[in-house]
Homo-oligomer: A and B are copies of this chain.
Amino acid sequence: MTTATAPLSTAKDEASIRAIMDAWARAIEAKNLDALMAHYAPDVLLYDLKPPYKIVGVPAYKAMWEACLPYFPQKFRSVSRDINLVVGADTAFVSYLNKFEVDGEPHPCAGSWIRVTAGFKKISGKWLIVHEHVSLPYNPMNNTVVQITDPNNTTFDWGAACAEAAPK
C-alpha cells in the first residue's frame, strides 16, 4: 500500500520534470533526436527563438532540429540555471535560462543565455512537454536582439541603447 501524501507526490513530480530536463540536455548533446522528441506531446506547440514564429507537432519540431544540428559544433554542453518550477497534480510549467557551451573557439550557437518556458501535462501517468517558448528580448529602438551575456545583470541602459540606435 502506498502512503504517499500530496506534498510527497509534488516532490516526485518535481523530480520527474527535473529528470526530463536533464534527459533533454543529454539527448541534444548526443544529437539524438528520437530521444529528444520522446519528451514531447504529439501536438506540442513551439514558440522558437527563430522563425517561423510557431511550430506545431513533433514531426515539424524534429525537422527543425534536423535542419539546425549540422550547424552545431560537434561537441557542446547544454546547461541551465535559474530554474523556476511550478508543479501541480497534472499540469506544470518551468522557466529557466539555457545555454549551449563549447570549449575552444567561440561558436554562434553558444553566444548567449536564452530564456525558456516549458509547459507540461501528465498524460497517461507520464509528464510530456506540450508547449515551449524560447526567446531573447530585443531593443525596439533598432529592432535588434539583445543577448544575455551576464544573467546577473538585470539592468539595461536605455539611454545608451537610444543613442546607439539614433541615426548617425
Contact = CB atoms under 8 A, between A and B. Distances in A.
Interface of A: 45, 47-56, 84, 86-93, 95, 108, 115, 117, 119, 121, 130-131, 133, 135-140, 143-146, 148, 151, 154-156, 161
A107 to B, nearest CB: 12
Query: Copies per complex?
Result: 2
B52 A154 contact: yes
A138 B84 contact: no
Contact of A117 (B52, B91, B117, B154): B117
B52 A156 contact: yes
A95 B117 CA distance: 11
A86 B130 contact: yes
A45 to B, nearest CB: 6
Given A51-B156, A143-B144, A91 B84 contact: no
Contacts of A90: 88-89
